[in-house]
Homo-oligomer: A and B are copies of this chain.
Amino acid sequence: MISRYMKEKLSGGSVIRAMFEAGAKMRKERGDENVFDFSLGNPALELPSEITEAVKRLSDEPGIHAYMPNAGYADVRTAIATDYNRRFDTKLMAEDLVMTVGAAGALNVFLKTVINPGDEIIVPAPYFVEYGFYAENVGAILRVVPTDANFRPDMDALRAAVTSKTKVLITNSPNNPTGVVYTADELSAIAEILTDAPHTVYWISDEPYREIIYDDAVQASIFNYYRNSVVAYSYSKSLSLPGERIGYLAVHPDIDDGDDMRRALVTANRILGFVNAPALFQRLVGMYPGMTCDTTFYKRNRDLLLGVMDRCGFHYTRPEGAFYLFVDAPVPDEAAFCARAMDFGLLMVPSSAFGVPGRVRLAYCVAPDMIRRSEQAFWGLASAYGLAGRQ
């Protein structure tokens, strides 16, 4: 009786679900302290105290929870645009922004606005698996493009993938699950490919991890490289409030069909049932537009975890941003590897969930102590695969 589409969704993609359920069972059987959960991107950091205090103050303001225009509060959008312009040397105005129900809302609103059924959306692999659903929501076809051996964009593959049906490219930098951060040169090369297309291809940069970057990585703005571009942003990670669903969509001031697009985006926000981004948290992010949690927490966690991996003999892609580590499975069947890892109390996500084989994703947005305590488990796992002895 449920729809054919949802029936199909229920029968597929149960690997992660099965793992989560097994994880819950594991906790019960072994105790929390013997389970090392690297499976979820749920930040262990608390929000900045300024935000917590502002929640309390704002609660007393009349009308703070009322409807506002579907695009969001104009002053909030102005504050965010101003902050963005200061950081990235751009010229966004309030009307270039729509406040959204997280980055997921932003992506769905944009796709609803531009996609005609049958249009193609290009995405480099590995990619956040939800993109596939968002494409299906609007009748688009997702074309997955390979990246190079280090998961950096493969310009030849990208150029070959752009056809007359291509309407949108989605990139995600810093990347979930690899931690790759695209360089300015890479953005520029991608822009050139899209500019060469005989028709307009819109480029969405999905960047909820924008402020979480390490070492020498620099987050550049696609707005400075390509005109037909939009940014989908979420405060989930930068402010540690993923449960509150607050983000925005920003369009390049000179985007093609801009006047219609700005109106259509606001209409799409309503039509899709999001209606508007949550009111109280709109106010909060508008008050502190550039604020982030202490992201050095993630750098310390990364370094801790890389130490564990190095000592145990695992190979991985060194993350330049975000809070995920993409580790090579020592056998081709990464799902079997994940299942074996559970014998040691280790929970991680097989890379098939991200469109590539042979890896696992570890989320290190966790308590540092758990990373330290997990070393023995990783050592056991490495030994089981004959890795640990190598060092």
Question: Could you tell me which residues of chain A, from 252 to 301, have a CB within 8 Å of some CB in chain B?
Answer: 256-257, 260-261, 263-264, 267-268, 270-276, 278-282
Q: Which residue of B lies closest to A202 (CB)?
A: B1
A256 surroundings in chain B (CB, below 8 A): 1
A66 surroundings in chain B (CB, below 8 A): 42-43, 240-243
Cross-interface CB contact of A1 among B1, B60, B64, B114, cutoff 8 Å? B114
A263 surroundings in chain B (CB, below 8 A): 10
Cross-interface CB contact of A2 among B9, B261, B271, cutoff 8 Å? B261
**Chain A positions 132 through 163: 1 when the CB is less than 8 Å from some CB of chain B, otherwise 0:** 01101110000000000000000000000000
The answer to whether B47 touches A260, judged by C-beta atoms less than 8 angstroms apart, is no
The answer to whether B2 touches A273, judged by C-beta atoms less than 8 angstroms apart, is no
Question: Could you tell me which residues of chain A, from 61 to 112, have a CB within 8 Å of some CB in chain B?
Answer: 62-68, 101-102, 104-105, 107-108, 112
Q: How far is the CA of A42 from the CA of B104 in the complex (A)?
A: 26
Give the B-binding residues of A (Cβ under 8 A): 1-7, 9-10, 40-43, 46-47, 52, 55-56, 59-60, 62-68, 101-102, 104-105, 107-108, 112-116, 130, 133-134, 136-138, 200, 202, 240-245, 256-257, 260-261, 263-264, 267-268, 270-276, 278-282
The answer to whether A65 touches B10, judged by C-beta atoms less than 8 angstroms apart, is no
Cross-interface CB contact of A107 among B62, B241, B268, B273, cutoff 8 Å? B273
A272 surroundings in chain B (CB, below 8 A): 108, 137, 272-273
New contact pairs (15) apart from A4-B116, A42-B67, A245-B274, CB-CB < 8 Å: A1-B202, A2-B114, A2-B264, A3-B116, A3-B264, A9-B267, A10-B263, A52-B59, A55-B280, A65-B242, A65-B243, A65-B244, A67-B242, A67-B243, A101-B101
The answer to whether A274 touches B114, judged by C-beta atoms less than 8 angstroms apart, is no
A278-B67 contact given A108-B272, A133-B271, A273-B134, CB 8 Å threshold: no
The answer to whether A3 touches B244, judged by C-beta atoms less than 8 angstroms apart, is no
Shortest beta-carbon distance, A244 to chain B, in Å? 5
Q: Which residue of B lies closest to A56 (CB)?
A: B56
The answer to whether A65 touches B240, judged by C-beta atoms less than 8 angstroms apart, is yes
Q: How far is the CA of A202 from the CA of B1 in the complex (A)?
A: 10
